[in-house]
Copies of this chain bind each other. A is one copy, B any other.
Amino acid sequence: MTNTAQQNDLANAIRSLSMDAVEKANSGHPGLPMGCADIATVLFTKVMKFDPANPHWADRDRFILSAGHGSMLLYSSLYLLGYEDMTIDQVKNFRQIGSKTAGHPEFGHATGIETTTGPLGQGLANSVGFAVAEAKLAAEFGSDVVDHHTFVLAGDGCLMEGISQEAISLAGHLKLNKLIVIWDNNNITIDGKVSNADSTDQIARFKAVGWNTIEIDGHDQDAIEKALNDAKASSDKPTLIAAKTTIGFGAPKKAGTEKVHGAPLGAEELAGAKAALGITYPAFEIPATILDAWRAAGTRSQNVRGEWEARLAKSDKKDEFTRRMSGKLPADFAKAMADYKQKLAADKPKVASRKASQMALEVINRAVPETLAGSADLTHSNLTNTPETLPFQADNRLGRYMMYGIREHEMGAAMNGVALHGGLIPYGGTFMVFTDYARPAIRLSALMEQRVIYVMTHDSIGLGEDGPTHQPVEHLTALRAIPQLLVFRPADAMETAECWELAMETADRPSILALSRQNLPAVRTEYSAENKSAKGAYTLVGPADADAVIFATGSEVAIAVEAQKELTEKGISARVVSVPSMELFAKQSDAYKAEVLGKAKARVAVEAGIEMSWSKLLGDKGRFVGMHSFGASGPIDALYAHFGITSKAVVEAVTAQL
């Protein structure tokens, strides 16, 4: 340890605020902020470029606290650096309702929080998306406009989670040299020593996936600075900096143990830590000399930002870059979609909705240059590619297609990172059943209100012979259960176009498109200037005063239409309501809902999934035609017959109620 008194003072300001805030909240994690204060000090006062006065500066370096439980490290630093919204009162209100200083960093709460972290591994996994976005935008707009680094602080927990392997192997493959991960190598997890549960040689592990590695003492600020600068100089590999630290550095009895990880120090240990660290000032009161030094560091990059503004002003790509970073779609997007929908009305194609999705994407990718396509190794099944989507690779940063590999979880997390970075709209495909693999990332897309579009094909037993491990049954319900997530299940090519349009236009929510493997007839054969799917549910066919209403989604809408015909032939008036999105329907006025529900004496829903998400709409007397168990392996027609998802079953369910 060769730190100067000044270096120690700066780091101890983080430690002091963090200890105090956790103590005041009587809840939280002091161990990481104390252990990583030297790292944060160097990062924020010496290495990273950013401007607290312009926290959304597009070309700022990004910092991702993957070990989100150490949130006080970030909040302390943001306060010290002079971020306007991170007041000392916010620090004092750590972990209270309504504060910007939640238990874990929540995107949108305070500027300087680049992503929501806490679920371990997610931040590291997001960072790959950030670095991809930077590399791609730099290729598109030039390094005079886009040229920044992504720094990650990750703990042993992040590195033990499986998603970390997906993240680092993808980053290594893509040679994301501007991604720098600092591993808080403190040998401690909640249950004790890392060696209780893991014996990984992390350096060898990262080398095996093509990373540059550096090992340092994480309390030696000069060594930290050198390592970070060496990492920034890497031209063809991401870098892991393994920083040996002591968790709870300074705590006289608890440092270096799991006891300091996730609980307040307690008055005595806190006083002992302050004494050991030489902190003599009162709680929450950073002396002016120290605060001034931090604040000066906070203004360090103002000139660099000014130069960047000047370069951007001169760039002929300024308007496009500004639009892209704003998240606004190109002006002609709506027109392109309208033209396409008119063509669909004329053509009435009978195609799988996954194919319809690809057809829509051919329009979208032509009209919207910022889409970043991809698939978790199922491109020709998901049909997520179009002529525009050449692969994004180490030797083609202009590519628009992410070959995510068999890494569904990382795909979701990387898309979160891409969306958070801005300038690109990510979409990615896998089989619907494998939303389970990506679920923690999908939840974060929703929690962070990001425009991330999941293209989930093979959305029911309709996928056929691959059997129950590949057939979603509970997935529509399980996804509809996630707050803020839009789940779309379009019935034909027209609805697929409408749902894609909604997914693209909804800048503050993620969307999932549930798409069929099998061909579907066109049920929407007229052009409509209004996006009918926007209301979530609407009458497709049948009289307003019908005696029966049949709700259906996706591939089962055609079954409902067939049942409606059969009922009409029997003299029973029935109406089919297509429900491309329950979430959007829930938002409609009571009057519209009443209109859609009508006064029907019989209600039936048909969907090749479980009933749970339908119960509210069906009410006491309604009946459900769908799945009541896992699926089975067999040809599609045999499966629909076997599980009784047929127009006959719908007709019977209706007549049983009348």
The interface of chain A, by Cβ under 8 A from chain B, is: 25, 27-28, 68-69, 95-99, 102-104, 106, 116-120, 156-157, 160-166, 169-170, 172-173, 189-191, 196-202, 204-205, 207-210, 375, 377-381, 391, 393, 403-410, 433-434, 436-437, 439-440, 443-444, 446-447, 464-470, 473-474, 477-478, 480-484, 610-613, 615-616, 619-620, 628-630, 632-635, 638-639, 642
Nearest residue, chain B, Cβ from A258: B380
8 interchain residue pairs of minimum CB distance: A162-B162, A197-B405, A165-B165, A118-B469, A97-B634, A102-B633, A204-B208, A615-B615
- Please report the C-alpha to C-alpha distance between residue A653 and residue B27 in the assembled complex, in whole angstroms: 34
Check if B106 sits within 8 Å of A468, measured CB to CB: yes
- From B104, B210, B436, B480, contact of A633 by CB (8 A): B104
Check if A469 sits within 8 Å of B190, measured CB to CB: no
Inside 8 A of A434's CB, which chain B residues have their CB?
119, 440
Check if B469 sits within 8 Å of A447, measured CB to CB: yes
Known: A97-B639, A191-B379, A633-B102. A161 touches B406 (CB 8 A): yes
- Chain B nearest CB from A21 CB (Å) reads 11
- Please report the C-alpha to C-alpha distance between residue A90 and residue B301 in the assembled complex, in whole angstroms: 71
- Chain B nearest CB from A632 CB (Å) reads 5
Check if B103 sits within 8 Å of A470, measured CB to CB: yes
Inside 8 A of A474's CB, which chain B residues have their CB?
478, 481-483
Inside 8 A of A635's CB, which chain B residues have their CB?
27, 95-96
- Chain B nearest CB from A462 CB (Å) reads 14
- Please report the C-alpha to C-alpha distance between residue A204 and residue B446 in the assembled complex, in whole angstroms: 37
Check if B160 sits within 8 Å of A162, measured CB to CB: no
Known: A165-B165, A468-B106, A484-B630. A405 touches B198 (CB 8 A): yes
Q: List 28 A-B contacts (CB under 8 A).
A: A68-B469, A96-B633, A96-B635, A96-B638, A97-B633, A97-B634, A97-B638, A98-B632, A103-B466, A103-B467, A104-B469, A160-B169, A162-B166, A169-B200, A170-B197, A173-B198, A189-B377, A191-B380, A197-B405, A200-B209, A204-B207, A208-B208, A473-B483, A474-B481, A481-B610, A484-B630, A612-B613, A619-B620
Given contacts A95-B465, A190-B377, list 20 more A-B pairs with CB under 8 A: A68-B469, A95-B634, A104-B469, A116-B469, A118-B470, A119-B433, A160-B406, A189-B406, A197-B406, A200-B209, A200-B210, A436-B439, A436-B443, A437-B439, A439-B439, A447-B630, A473-B483, A483-B610, A611-B616, A615-B616
